[in-house]
Structure 1
């Protein structure tokens, strides 16, 4: 197996390359910079992409490029295309690719998807997912730009109504040690791709909420969503830590949650596990991460990266 990591020297890609090489997996870094890339590639040039794919069996897209033609080109060559994007319309388009594509790989979606799927496999929904991100982490400009891109946009909820991003606040109680960084204040609805897929697969509402560890930064998103033209005034970096926490709770009470430091590293750990799983199981069509493995199979790898996994019978609303 030979893996090509698009954006292999970026925030997530650098961690992923290190993890895969440590496991003895042949891994190539792809990017524009000849000084840092094993294969120089311009993702906007089809011929450049085709040349970079020579001899490769798996491609992981850590470049932030949401171009369905990349997955289609991999599919034409029978190459597994692994995507870490959370963007709903792009991910939904990838679901129609005629070839081996793996979706929902990362922290959110990814770890959130597995936690919610574990709840839904054991009891009824609906399920609410809370994603708490450390606003002070240097996760790369693409992550900040992605969050700001949601401002003012709407998405279709499970009941068919339209929801504006960063509205409809809800409270989540963060259990355990992470509670000190994530004090009680509202999280806001946000359009992460896995809520739509889980709602479809389990025929119950799954709703995703986002908050930052900074109350001020979270409030800023709630204000700017009504005036998205002002997003140029939003800071590129905000005060806060690099701690993240995600929580999936069922309306019947049980919950699953995880916490760690560095969302880039956590995303890379999930991606590395997905690469190995893709090598074990033939993939011929678009496949979501929860179809490949369960959350319990990742416990040891996540623990090695400083990620704690928990389940509790119930949490207070």
Structure 2
């Protein structure tokens, strides 16, 4: 498994300790974040969990808190001057609004479009700053798509994510996969509600590799096309090995999609009893097309564990926020703070084996 490398030359100890709140601190990504930020004594980390304390609770600069973020008044238990990182879609928009009203900074990694839309509405008119798409997908994938749309000819971007099944993902991530592959979503071109897998697509996730099928799902797409530009973004999800994708495709054909979404909690728990198969890696492909559906260009990315990549992307976002335009308020996205080249260079500091490629047609 790929491990995060802490680059001590990139951090400096300050006389003032800064507060970092992690909502969902006991989860898969949360544990990696605690290790990343605990290596730098500049941060005091507040790890918030609804049910259990984080496993890495021995760090002297870590405060482990058990709080139900859905309850009223939670904001009063959190430090006011903190950067808040949201790793759970159980966080209600009203809590986000409270944090932003008192001038806080809120980073969100969520992958459900309706939830992200709710957070964006909560940020309207607030003095704080909400940054969405701080993760892998959305996040790094958003930067890949946004880089392609610099070409004014681009009208459609297709983004494919392939997850290696060589390890068991965290409970929240596993639940999300079952929900995303079974819950109807609004087609980005027609606006009609359709079931995932209705319009699959084949991606070559690596050069000189045969295309692999991926199933259409809903991901947030804010930031990929510049404001005011006409465009359509389609997202797809695949498993590695491909038989995982075929399994979900057959389940959809049998009409089990809505059932999977409704039983995502139990299915996620059951999946942890199954043996891991396939590699531990994350691959993404972003492909751009013009208005006649001719391919213009593409970006390919291959890295290690998805949770490690997400934690590293969050770290890069925090670094960019601290050196960027502090006047930005309200809702914005990762593309307002990072460019693709910056993100890739930062990821290579942590993962020397990251592979990327760009092609232009």
TM class, shorter-chain normalised?
A: 0.7 to 0.9
Aligned residues: 308
1:169-200 Cα distance to aligned partner (Å, 9 max, x none): 111112249x5xxx633111010112x65357
Structure 1 segment 112-127 matched on structure 2, within 5 A:
112-125=141-154, 126-127=156-157
Query: Could you tell me whether the CA contact under 8 Å between 1:168 and 1:188 is conserved in 2?
Result: yes
Q: Residue 245 of structure 1 aligns with which residue?
A: 283
Higher Cα Rg, which structure: 2
Q: How far is the alpha carbon of 1:34 from its aligned partner?
A: 5.0
Q: Distance in 2 between matches of 1:38 and 1:54?
A: 11
**Secondary structure of residue in 2 paired with 1:9:** coil
**Secondary structure of residue in 2 paired with 1:54:** coil
- Counterpart of 2:90 (choices 65, 73, 81) is 65
Q: Distance in 2 between matches of 1:108 and 1:101?
A: 17
Q: How far is the alpha carbon of 1:72 from its aligned partner?
A: 1.3
- Counterpart of 2:179 (choices 149, 157, 162) is 149
Q: How far is the alpha carbon of 1:85 from its aligned partner?
A: 0.5
Aligned pair 1:175/2:206, yes or no?
yes
1:205-247 Cα distance to aligned partner (Å, 9 max, x none): 1111111112222122223332135535855145222211001
Q: Relative to 1, partners in 2 of residues 1:224 and 1:29: Cα closer, same or farther, differing over 3 Å?
A: farther
Structure 2 residue ranges without an equivalent (≥5): 1-17, 290-294
Q: Distance in 2 between matches of 1:56 and 1:50?
A: 12
Question: Which stretch of the first structure deviates more once superposed, 208-217 or 80-89?
Answer: 208-217
RMSD: 2.4
Query: Could you tell me whether the CA contact under 8 Å between 2:140 and 2:343 is conserved in 1?
Result: no
Q: Residue 217 of structure 2 aligns with which residue?
A: 190
Answer 1 or 2: which has greater helix percent: 1
**Secondary structure of residue in 1 paired with 2:200:** coil
TM-score by length of 1: 0.88
Query: Could you tell me whether the CA contact under 8 Å between 2:74 and 2:95 is conserved in 1?
Result: no
Query: Could you tell me whether the CA contact under 8 Å between 1:302 and 1:308 is conserved in 2?
Result: no
Q: Residue 205 of structure 1 aligns with which residue?
A: 232
Structure 1 segment 63-142 matched on structure 2, within 5 A:
63-97=88-122, 98=124, 99=126, 100-125=129-154, 126-142=156-172
Q: Relative to 1, partners in 2 of residues 1:272 and 1:157: Cα closer, same or farther, differing over 3 Å?
A: same
